[in-house]
């Protein structure tokens, strides 16, 4: 047993499941996993070979507890932990660490990644954002996180919230752009796969020379003839046309082109 | 000399420059490069060690001519080519191949990639979209394109226009999302680099299981409390707030959540 002691996990969603798997891959078997729903509990038991429980008795005997449930369920979970003596953390990108302040020792362990059960991912390269209400527990949390990833960052609630908001633009909304591209291509008998090299190069270039310097395309060079042609092509896609207009205007304004849509 | 003969290129921009470089790397030195601006001509001469000319005399003696100029300049270039006997192509994503139909043999050679002079890129994995007005020239164009890339696709003007429009969403607008994330992070003393693993995984996942199946995040799971919190955080960023609202609504509607912003 490592010096942070017996680890319990609460939850059966993407994060709880993946975290449990990643820990087992590192040779650390959780002390127990709390899952309320019996069907989910049985699945987790079979797939991950861990001790899955549905009452808090064993959970309260752990030394380190990771709450990986929906943001909105964290307060309810906290009500069961008033007597907990270990260190408890949640995994939310947006919720305050103080949601857990009915427990003496609390903090946050937030993996900055898009996590789906079906995807086999390693935590090695995932930024882990940690926070604790005492220096001692912060050191313990860091030691734990560093077993899983080489990218561990201490950050407070406000910084984490900003990072989560930025992640919505960078991950979720970028996904929406891919989805719109996919739809336009499919409707014309074409496949998204053709876009893979373009997407990869744009990302690499943006991270290397900054998104601002990496931008190309009609709006960037103020090519209004192409912009108008695109708008016309989107006539049967009113929502996508609106998104096209707003983002094109955003680029035009940013790069101080005078002509507006 | 390969069976498509002497290659000439017109232009000094990102595409002309990079194409010239890529050809040289494959052991093919262009017959000549036409550059109108003397300063650009001199730069290209020095950097790429090619014969850069500023009148059409030598250009007209080539067998295969690639016009890599701004979309709007293609018609003007075409006026100089009425007597051209070789095969002429342009490299535009949106313009009709028929812009060149004053020449007997014409077509399109469109590299689907975001190209900047400063970036060292190989064409090996770049989709090259080709089109020609005769089967014979199409075969020649394919033979040429296949020297540069393993991904050569014949596609007509309409398909290419759709692909270009999709590319604006997938490359340019995704870049905008990265730019907004970058700005939010910077304004709070944080660095974009922390987002790299998230971005990479989201892209890989989207291409593997489709963008639709890969989407996670507050809007996707209908977590309106987080959406409202994000909106509030964007109060001092009115344009970014508008983009947040529109894209969140797009996700909510798509995944049939009833609550609107």
DSSP A171-206: IIIHHHHHHHHHHHHHTTT--GGGGHHHHHHHHHHH
Cβ–Cβ under 8 Å, residues B128 and B145: yes
Do both A241 and A202 map to the same domain? Answer: yes
Distances in Å between the Cα of A207 and the Cα atoms of A36, A217, B179, B200 are 42, 18, 10, 11
Confidence (pLDDT) at A2: 54
Contacts with A20 (C-beta within 8 Å, 6 or more apart), sequence order = A9, A30, A33, A44, A48, A50
Do both A146 and A246 map to the same domain? Answer: no
Neighboring chain B residues of A176 at a CB cutoff of 8 Å? 211, 215, 247, 250-251
Asked if residue A103 is part of any domain, the answer here is: yes
Cβ–Cβ under 8 Å, residues A149 and A130: no
Query: A217: nearest CA in chain B?
Result: B172
Q: Residues of chain A with pLDDT > 90: what percent?
A: 86
CA A153 to CA A138: how far, in whole Å?
A: 11
β B64-67/B87-90 pair status: parallel
pLDDT band at A259 (very low <50, low <70, confident <90, very high): very low
CA B22 to CA B28: how far, in whole Å?
A: 9
Nearest to A217 among B70, B168, B210 (CB): B168
Do both A135 and A173 map to the same domain? Answer: no
How confident is the model over A62-94, as pLDDT tens digits? 999 999 998 989 999 999 999 999 999 999 999
What does DSSP assign to residue B73?
Answer: G
Look at residues A105, A126, A155 and tell me which one is the last residue of a structural domain: A155
Do both A206 and A169 map to the same domain? Answer: yes
Do both B190 and B150 map to the same domain? Answer: no
Do both A148 and A237 map to the same domain? Answer: no
Return the closest-CA partner of residue A116 out of B211, B222, B226, B195. Answer: B211
CB-based burial of residue A171 (10 Å sphere; 0-12 exposed, 13-18 middle, 19+ buried)? Answer: buried
CB-based contact (8 Å) between A115 and chain B?
yes
Look at B176 and A215 and tell me if their CB atoms are within 8 Å: yes
Asked if residue B259 is part of any domain, the answer here is: no
Q: Which H helix or E strand runs over B78?
A: helix B74-79
Confidence (pLDDT) at A118: 76
Predicted TM-score (pTM) of the model is: 0.89
Confidence (pLDDT) at B257: 53
Do both B129 and B69 map to the same domain? Answer: yes
Distances in Å between the Cα of A150 and the Cα atoms of A63, A126, A142 are 24, 8, 11
Look at residues A122, A155, A188 and tell me which one is the last residue of a structural domain: A155
Asked if residue B125 is part of any domain, the answer here is: yes
Query: B231: nearest CA in chain A?
Result: A165
How confident is the model over B23-71, as pLDDT tens digits? 999 999 999 999 999 999 999 999 999 999 999 999 999 999 999 998 9
CATH classification at residue A172 = 1.10.1040.20
Nearest to A159 among B181, B190, B240 (CB): B190
Do both A36 and A118 map to the same domain? Answer: yes
What's the structural domain count of chain B? 2
- Between CA B148 and CA B154, with CA B152 as vertex, the angle to 5 degrees is 140
Q: Is the pLDDT of residue A42 over 60?
A: yes
For B14-36, b/e burial (b = at least 16 CB within 10 A) is bbbbbbbbbbeeeebebbbbbbe
What is the average pLDDT across A149-162?
95
List the domain range (segments joined by +) for residue A11: 7-155
CB-based contact (8 Å) between B216 and chain A?
yes
Do both B173 and B149 map to the same domain? Answer: no
Asked if residue A261 is part of any domain, the answer here is: no
Do both A139 and A182 map to the same domain? Answer: no
**Chain centroid offset of residue A98 CA:** 20
> How distant is the Cα of A28 from the closest Cα of chain B, in angstroms?
24
Query: A249: nearest CA in chain B?
Result: B239
CATH classification at residue B22 = 3.40.50.720
Look at residues B155, B175, B199 and tell me which one is the last residue of a structural domain: B155
Asked if residue B170 is part of any domain, the answer here is: yes
Asked if residue A187 is part of any domain, the answer here is: yes
How confident is the model over B108-124, as pLDDT tens digits? 999 998 887 777 778 88
Asked if residue A189 is part of any domain, the answer here is: yes
Do both A145 and A16 map to the same domain? Answer: yes
Asked if residue A125 is part of any domain, the answer here is: yes
What is the average pLDDT across A226-234?
96
Nearest to A165 among B163, B233, B254 (CB): B233
Residue numbers in chain B where pLDDT is lower than 50: 1, 258-261
Do both B17 and B90 map to the same domain? Answer: yes
> How distant is the Cα of A160 from the closest Cα of chain B, in angstroms?
10
């Amino acid at each position: 047993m490592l010096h942070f002691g017996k680890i319990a996990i609460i939850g059966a969603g993407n994060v709880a499941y993946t975290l449990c798997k990643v820990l087992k891959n590192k040779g650390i078997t959780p002390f127990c996993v709390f899952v309320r729903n019996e069907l989910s509990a049985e699945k987790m038991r079979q797939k991950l070979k861990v001790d899955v429980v549905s009452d808090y008795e064993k959970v309260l005997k752990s030394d380190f507890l990771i709450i990986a449930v929906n943001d909105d369920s964290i307060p309810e979970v906290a009500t069961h932990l008033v007597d907990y003596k270990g260190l408890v953390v949640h995994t939310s990108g947006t919720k305050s660490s103080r949601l857990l302040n009915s427990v003496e020792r609390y903090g946050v362990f937030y993996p900055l990644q898009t996590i789906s059960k079906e995807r086999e991912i390693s935590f090695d390269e995932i930024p882990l954002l940690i926070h604790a209400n005492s220096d001692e527990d912060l050191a313990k949390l860091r030691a734990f996180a560093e077993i899983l990833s080489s990218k561990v960052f201490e950050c407070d609630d406000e910084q984490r919230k900003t990072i989560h908001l930025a992640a919505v633009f960078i991950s979720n909304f970028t996904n929406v752009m891919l989805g719109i591209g996919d739809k336009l291509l499919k409707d014309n008998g074409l496949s998204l796969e053709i876009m893979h090299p373009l997407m990869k190069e744009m990302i690499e270039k943006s991270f290397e020379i900054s998104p601002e310097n990496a931008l190309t395309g009609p709006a960037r060079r103020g090519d209004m003839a192409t912009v108008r042609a695109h708008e016309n092509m989107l006539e049967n896609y009113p929502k996508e046309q609106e998104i096209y207009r707003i983002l094109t205007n955003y680029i035009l304004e940013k790069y101080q082109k005078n002509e507006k849509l």
